[in-house]
């Protein structure tokens, strides 16, 4: 029986860190179902979902603790189950907008989706600092799960557009 393990890591960015982690997963014969990496400031962040037998997951966890100590990573691992590849086009909608970066703006959108009873599937926000010469612009992409039934798509679209208008933001809504 296969088990799944979510692995999250953060530490000072150094060359070869993803290779260290993925090589450890491969050495323990684990299948990597999902992974995402980002550099934020000088910090490396990595999220990975692996799958394998209970014995292989246990071996990986023990070895991963040692790896984190050796390369100075903070990490959290948690067992999970039921992961399946998302059918983004069929199951999810998306809001994309670009605007001058404003404190609290993203919170208004996450509050909107929560009030609508919609789960977020992915959130990507990339801001460019004003001192970089880009006038502090931010590009945000919010991917949300569409309900399977009893969803008034017209009311949702109208309410989301009203929020965009209220905030004076041009956004692209994909359903």
Q: How many domains does the chain have?
A: 2
DSSP 119: P
Please state, in angstroms and rounded to a whole number, the distance separating the CA atoms of residues 146 and 163: 18
How much of the chain, in percent, has pLDDT values that exceed 90? 66
Backbone angles phi, psi at 118, to 5 degrees: -105, 140
Segments forming the whole domain that contains residue 115: 88-174
- From first CA to last CA, the distance across the chain in angstroms is 37
Q: Which helix (H) or strand (E) holds 113?
A: helix 105-115
Q: Report the CATH number at residue 122.
A: 3.30.70.260
Q: What is the pLDDT of residues 25-42, one digit of tens each?
A: 999 999 998 899 999 989
67 against 1, higher pLDDT: 67
Backbone angles phi, psi at 8, to 5 degrees: -125, 140
pTM of the shown model: 0.70
Q: Are residues 55 and 121 in the same domain?
A: no
Point out which residues pair with 39 in neighbouring strands.
44
Domain termination site, one of 36, 52, 80 = 80
Domain termination site, one of 33, 51, 80 = 80
């Amino acid at each position: 029986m296969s088990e799944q393990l979510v692995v999250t890591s953060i530490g000072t960015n150094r060359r070869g860190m993803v290779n260290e982690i993925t090589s450890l997963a491969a050495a323990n014969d684990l299948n990597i179902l999902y992974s995402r990496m980002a550099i934020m400031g000088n910090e490396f962040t990595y999220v990975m979902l692996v799958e394998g037998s209970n014995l292989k997951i246990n071996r990986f966890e023990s070895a991963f603790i040692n790896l984190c100590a050796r390369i100075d990573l903070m990490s959290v691992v948690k067992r999970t189950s039921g992961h399946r590849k998302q059918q983004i086009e069929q199951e999810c909608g998306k809001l994309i907008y670009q605007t001058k970066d404003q404190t609290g703006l993203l919170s208004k959108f996450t509050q909107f989706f929560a009030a609508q009873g919609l789960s977020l599937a992915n959130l990507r926000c990339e801001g460019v600092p004003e001192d970089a010469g880009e006038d502090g612009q931010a590009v945000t992409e919010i991917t949300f799960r569409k309900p399977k039934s009893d969803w008034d798509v017209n009311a949702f679209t109208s309410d989301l557009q009203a929020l965009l208008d209220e905030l004076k933001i041009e956004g692209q809504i994909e359903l």
